[in-house]
Amino acid sequence: MIVLRGCAFPEDRYYHADYNVWVQPTAADVVTLGVTSYGAVLAIEFFAFTPKSIGTVIEAGRAVGILELSKTAMSVRSPVAGTLKAVNSAAVAQPSIIGSDPYGAGWLVRLTTNVDLARQTQLLQGEALIVPFEAKMALENFAGAQSG
């Protein structure tokens, strides 16, 4: 587990610093996508998650859905191309779990893809995520997550 300014980044998945999302292989040709703990802290509170329809073809860099926060809405972008296979109905019904458990029950969607995550230069894993996320946190004047 890598912890940056109080935000956890489990080492069993890949991260995209600009989109503030993670992807994790879950089955052959299937990845799960969610918001990083850093993204969850920045959001403060999630009011709604509106995903695209199952079966939608998603291009890399395009939205899989919209997250509504207290004063704004934002697109959740996928760093990989694929077809929307599943939506986390629990995150749609109770969006607060996205913030309280971003790496577990708060996952957002699953995509069918043939992309090799390890070969994607924009996806970071392990120690490689430290410098880009620290730079992003510094740029955004993020002092750190408040515990408790």
d(CA 121, CA 66): 25
Report the pLDDT value the prediction gives residue 147, as an integer from 0 to 100.
55
Length of the chain, in residues: 148
Q: What backbone torsions phi and psi does residue 119 show, to the nearest 5 degrees?
A: -95, 0
Domains by residue range for the chain, with CATH = 18-121 (2.40.50.100)
* Nearest-angstrom CA–CA distance, 41 and 16: 16
Distances (CA, A) of 10 to 33, 48, 95: 14, 25, 21
Summary mean pLDDT of the chain: 94
Q: Residue 42 corresponds to which tokens in the numbers above?
A: 């920045």
CA distances from 50 to 60, 75, 134 (A): 19, 10, 29
Answer yes or no: are the C-beta atoms of 117 and 123 closer than 8 Å.
yes
* CA–CA gap between residue 74 and residue 69 (Å, rounded): 8
**pLDDT tens, position by position, 35-65:** 999 999 989 899 999 999 999 999 999 999 9
Q: pLDDT at position 148, please? A: 43
Positions of the chain with pLDDT lower than 70, given as ranges: 146-148
